[in-house]
A and B are shown apart, each in its own frame.
Chain A
Amino acid sequence: MIFIYDSTFEGFLSAVFDAFPVKEEVSIEKKDCWQPLLFAEPVEVKTEPEKAERVAEKLLSICGHRGFSAIVQIFLSEAEGCETAAFYLIKSVIKYGSKSFSRFQDEKITHAMELRKKVSKECDRFLGILRFSELSNGVFYAPCEPDHNIIPLIAGHFYERLLGTKWMIHDLRRGFALYHSNGNMENVEFIDELTSHLNMANLLGKSENEEDFAEMWCRYFKTIAIETRINPKLQRQFMPQRYWKYLTEKKNG
């Protein structure tokens, strides 16, 4: 049985609520992505906050914050089939408890946990490789294009770390940005879809000192490597090339 929902997390949890009692095999898909099949009629899920709340509370009571955030991470992986994988895991957690997370005997659960691992690995990476530059208006701006939808997961780290600064983290792939100033963090409302994918640094220009610090960082980066140990393969293993585009020290090769 196929359930389609509106792409929000609340919508997904509502779908979990509706699909839970179903005996046959369930798949959950985003409405936008769903490809009509000849013989299958999908069930369209209505997003209802009360249903979502009930599922969330149930999960929190069984597996706590750690377990719940694993489910959120699987959802934010945005991988094909991630909702179905998350649903399978949720069902198992509700049936068998939180030891389900370690049920490596079950291929589907292992798959779901692998999605989770990919997301948390990318989160860890981005705590390090996200780069801010100071714009002409004094805002520290970090453009990025992560594989998974991780900005909501890493924002808290930068929030408390950079309390004294105004900053913006911008996911150019998803057209989503968070802005912080004076302890308030909010979603950025863009004028239109096109603008939401534009690099603000090109639009607004950088602050007076920005190039100096970027240049010093690049020179430092070059000088710190030990010549007799040069190992580009190892470097790429830790810092894959797809992330270089926004890395101050790497974007020029």
Chain B
Amino acid sequence: MELVEKLEILGAAAKFDASCSSSGSSRKGVEGGIGSAYRAGICHSWAADGRCISLLKVLFTNYCINDCAYCINRRSNDVKRATFTVDELVSLTMNFYKRNYIEGLFLSSGIIKNADFTMEKLIAVAKKLRNEENFHGYIHLKVIPGASDILIKEAGLYADRVSVNIELPSEKSLKLLTEKSKESIIKPMTDITSDIVENREERRKTKKLPMFAPAGQTTQLIVGATPETDRKIVKLTEAFYKKFSMKRVYYSAFVPVNSDNRLPIVSMPPLDREHRLYQADWLMRFYGFQADEIVTEENPFLSDDIDPKAVWAMRNMHLFPLEINTAAFEMILRVPGIGRKSAFRIIYARKNGSLDFDDLKRIGVVLKRARYFITCKGKMMADTIIAELTVFEAMKTTSTKAGAVDHTYEQLLLF
């Protein structure tokens, strides 16, 4: 089989993995080597679905001994199969990298023979890139569920980032749809976390020690294939961040690729739900929110119409309005229409004198949203009416949906 055909098969087979990020590592280039790592990560292209392409994301092979219901590569599917050789993958990575197509390699795989055998193949690619090609770009390795800790330790020496996919939000769903046990997934996750903690501690004593997975650990789960609530997913995410110190949790809207009576029948992937979950995720990572504040027991699903930050604010109207010129940073962060950047700008700009609504506009605050929750020098913005219905309507028309930016509010202004 020609290399280009393998690339097509094994690229298509990897496309449902949502992670593409090349962030979290900072490494300078060296003489005689190729590559560096850029802390914030670099997107190199955007595919027709609008998702960014940062790494060459492929499977080592799409042969698999498992038969998971949702997976296109499951054993019982009649699809074209292919396997790369180590040399082919190394050459593709190096040549794509030199042309600035990619930031590095994201390597996952179907399981051949057993977990450790497959894991060794992935490690062999990373090892050759690092040791023989002197490659200093980004490498993200998937850890195969059930892989032994010795191999994980080795993987983390070559890879910037490692990840094990949790795949589904509950043990019950895992049992129903996959052949993976909860232990085979949680065990390597725990191993990675303790390897990272151990490595960082030892590096404090011996600076020269190589860094284990400098860009940390991530995971991914499928949304909408099983009946779990958003609350369950958001709480699970919080646990990943708090207990496993994960860098990211990715959500992948369920795309039906197999017909299987264990799976729900949907015509479109639940993109809006995926979008709301990412918003909730951002609130936890960058805005200081707890899972319980975002989804309550009484309302275990995120709102379709209104983004979670606005939902929280409307539920807590007693905390507002906030005086922009004196409020604490943590509270400014919680105002709908004020992002992290704007919040920082407000704090810095206040040192030059007090702020009014025109200044906020220049800072980048979305006043169509924020006006209901703030005052400037003790005054609300002119013509702001705070009635439950008005605020609700305003939030509804300004909440972005999945995909491109929503411009409906501009049209509504005409009336």
Closest to B48 in A: A225
The stretch among B28-36, B144-152, B285-293 that forms the contact with chain A is B28-36
B92 and A238 contacting across the interface, CB-CB below 8 Å? no
A163 and B32 contacting across the interface, CB-CB below 8 Å? yes
A224 and B12 contacting across the interface, CB-CB below 8 Å? yes
Q: Which of A183, A209, A229 contacts B51 (CB 8 A)?
A: A229
How many B residues, CB 8 Å from partner? 60
Give me the interface of B with A, judged by CB distance under 8 Å: 3-4, 7-8, 11-12, 14-16, 28-36, 38, 42-54, 56-57, 92, 95-96, 98-101, 134, 253, 255, 268-269, 271, 345, 348-349, 351-353, 355, 359, 362-363, 403-405
- Give me 7 other A-B pairs in contact (C-beta within 8 A), A124-B42, A164-B34, A235-B47 excluded: A105-B353, A223-B15, A226-B16, A226-B269, A229-B269, A231-B404, A248-B101
Is residue A22 contacting chain B, with contact meaning CB distance below 8 A?
A: no
Is residue A242 contacting chain B, with contact meaning CB distance below 8 A?
A: no
B50 and A133 contacting across the interface, CB-CB below 8 Å? no
Q: How far apart are the CA atoms of A55 and B16 in the complex, in Å? A: 54
A238 and B99 contacting across the interface, CB-CB below 8 Å? no
B-contact bits for A213-253, CB 8 A (1 contact / 0 none)? 11111011111111011111111011100000001111000
Chain A residues with Cβ below 8 Å from B14 are 224
Q: How far apart are the CA atoms of A238 and B46 in the complex, in Å? A: 7
A-B pair number, CB within 8 angstroms:
173
A128 and B47 contacting across the interface, CB-CB below 8 Å? no
Q: Which of B29, B43, B56, B404 contacts A163 (CB 8 A)?
A: B29
B99 and A105 contacting across the interface, CB-CB below 8 Å? no
B-contact bits for A199-213, CB 8 A (1 contact / 0 none)? 000000000010011
Q: How far apart are the CA atoms of A183 and B32 in the complex, in Å? A: 10
Distance (whole angstroms) from the CB of B366 to the closest CB of chain A = 15
10 residue pairs from A and B, CB less than 8 Å apart = A102-B349, A102-B352, A142-B100, A159-B29, A229-B269, A231-B49, A231-B404, A234-B50, A237-B50, A239-B45
Q: How far apart are the CA atoms of A232 and B45 in the complex, in Å? A: 13
B101 and A131 contacting across the interface, CB-CB below 8 Å? yes
Q: How far apart are the CA atoms of A164 and B35 in the complex, in Å? A: 9
Is residue A7 contacting chain B, with contact meaning CB distance below 8 A?
A: no
Contacts A102-B349, A224-B15 given; does A161 touch B7 at CB 8 Å: no
Closest to A209 in B: B95
A131 and B100 contacting across the interface, CB-CB below 8 Å? yes
